[in-house]
Structure 1
Amino acid sequence: MSGALGRFRFMAYVVGVGLLLLVTAMLVKYLGDYDGMMKVVGPVHGFLYAIYLVITVDLALKARWSLKGTALVLLAGTIPFVSFYAERKVVESVRLERAL
């Protein structure tokens, strides 16, 4: 399970940073009237988020999380800064062998 946890931790950080870049790109697009950054960051974040979903479901199955806990962790990648918080909680939960 440590491999699945390591993959999850890495992707949680990548998606968290990617989401912050996406918000920045959206601000540049709508406030600065320039959509070049959004054309690059948007699809990259979407692709990385899809990988995050697969890796999170893999960890959820191995750690036997509830459907609700899994859904909440999956949604954590859609709200800025929440993926960092969720990553900490997931690591704590997995290390204590507690289900979410």
Structure 2
Amino acid sequence: MTTRPVQGYDNPETVRKALKPFEIMAFVVGVGLLVLVLEMVLKYAFDNDVLAWWAMPHGFLYMIYLVTTFNLGTAAKWPLSRIIKVMLAGVVPFLSFVVERQVAREVHGRLAG
């Protein structure tokens, strides 16, 4: 039975290539979620449907975020539970920004090590 090294990754180039799309999509989905919250506030508090169109594009962007998270998680050999936790961070306003920074810091650190 072979074991993975604790520091670094089996294939660092694959992890490096998967990290950038994840970082971009985490930021885009975080901003998109804030716009979605604004849309709900406008709709339910002020009866204004100016951003009613935003829900569907946001859902599509979230699906891309899920794919990039899964791609990074499989490249970095994360357990499925961690992949799911990072995916769920994209549904809580501001949490995607925090989790993206934590993940990026950890992955960059392991790539450097």
Regarding TM over 0.5, the answer is yes
- TM-score, L = length of structure 2: 0.81
* 1:69 aligned onto 2:88: no
Q: Percentage identity across aligned positions?
A: 46
Unaligned runs of 5+ in 2: 1-14
Report what 1:4 is aligned to: 18
1:48 and 1:10 map into 2 onto residues whose CA distance is: 11
Please show how residues 85-96 of structure 1 align to structure 2 within 5 Å: 85-96=98-109
Question: How far apart are residue 93 of structure 1 and its match?
Answer: 1.8
Which deviations, in whole Å up to 9, do the C-alpha atoms of 1:16-41 show, x marking residues without a partner? 00000000000000011122412x11
1:29 and 1:45 map into 2 onto residues whose CA distance is: 16
C-alpha root-mean-square deviation of aligned residues, in Å?
A: 1.3
Question: How far apart are residue 46 of structure 1 and its match?
Answer: 0.2
Q: Give the letter for the 2:39 counterpart.
A: A
* 1:27 aligned onto 2:55: no
* 1:60 aligned onto 2:76: no
Ranges of 4+ aligned residues in structure 1 off by more than 4 Å: none
Q: Which has the larger helix fraction?
A: 1
- TM-score, L = length of structure 1: 0.91
Report what 1:84 is aligned to: 97
Which deviations, in whole Å up to 9, do the C-alpha atoms of 1:38-87 show, x marking residues without a partner? 2x110011000000000100000000011111111000100000000000
> Which structure is larger by alpha-carbon Rg, 1 or 2?
2
Report what 2:10 is aligned to: none
1:8 and 1:18 map into 2 onto residues whose CA distance is: 15
What is the aligned residue count? 97
